[in-house]
Amino acid sequence: MHTWVTRPHWLAYVAAIVALFVPSPPVQATTTLRIGHVGNDQGAIHAGAERFAQHLANVSDGEMAVEIIGRGALGNIPELWVQMQAEALDMQVIDTGAISLLASGKPIQVLLTPFLFESQVHLRRYMESPSARSLLNDIAVTSSIRYLGHVGERSPRLISTTRRPIVSVADLRGMKMRVPRHPMFIEIFNRWGSIATPVQPADMFMALKSGLVDGEDNGMVTLANSSNASIIRHVTPIDWNRSVVALWISDKRWQSLTDQQRSWIEDAVSQSESDAAAAFDIDMRDAREKLDELGIEIHKPELGGFKAIVEDFVDTHEGTIWPKGEVERIRALR
Q: What is the pTM of this model?
A: 0.88
In this model, does residue 18 exceed pLDDT 50? no
Distance, in Å, from the CA atom of 184 to the CA atom of 190, rounded to the nearest integer, reads 10
Mean pLDDT, to the nearest integer, of 33-57?
94
> How do residues 117-131 score in pLDDT, each as one tens digit?
999 999 999 999 999
Give the residue-averaged pLDDT of 54-61. 98
Domain formed by 31-155+243-280, architecture: 3-Layer(aba) Sandwich (3.40)
Which pLDDT band, with edges at 50, 70 and 90, does 28 fall under? low
What are 136-169's pLDDT values in tens digits? Answer: 999 999 999 999 999 999 999 999 999 999 999 9
Q: 153 near 231, Cβ under 8 Å? A: no
Instruction: Please state the rounded mean pLDDT for residues 241-245.
Output: 98
Taking residues 108-115, what's their average pLDDT?
A: 97
Per-residue pLDDT band at 10 (split at 50, 70, 90): very low
The pair phi, psi for residue 150, each rounded to 5°, is -115, 150
Q: What is the mean pLDDT of the chain?
A: 92
Per-residue pLDDT averaged across 223-230, rounded?
A: 94
**Residue 66: left (phi > 0), alpha (psi -120 to 50), or beta?**
beta
Query: What are the start-end ranges of the H helices in 294-331?
Result: 303-309, 313-317, 326-331
Query: Is 282 within 8 Å of 290 (Cβ atoms)?
Result: no
Q: Across residues 218-227, what is the average pLDDT?
A: 94
User: 272-323: per-residue pLDDT in tens?
Assistant: 999 999 999 999 999 999 999 999 999 999 999 999 999 999 999 999 999 9
Q: Is the pLDDT of residue 60 over 80?
A: yes
* Pairwise CA distance, residues 140 & 137, whole Å: 5
Residue 111: its pLDDT value, please? 97
pLDDT band at 40; cut points 50, 70, 90: confident
| Rg from Cα positions in the chain | 25
- Amino acid of residue 303: L
Q: What is the mean pLDDT of residues 29-35?
A: 90
Contact indicator for 130, 137 with CB cutoff of 8 Å: no
Whether residue 245 contacts residue 154, with contact meaning beta carbons closer than 8 Å, is answered with yes
Residue 1 scores a pLDDT above 50: no
Share of the chain above pLDDT 70, in %: 91
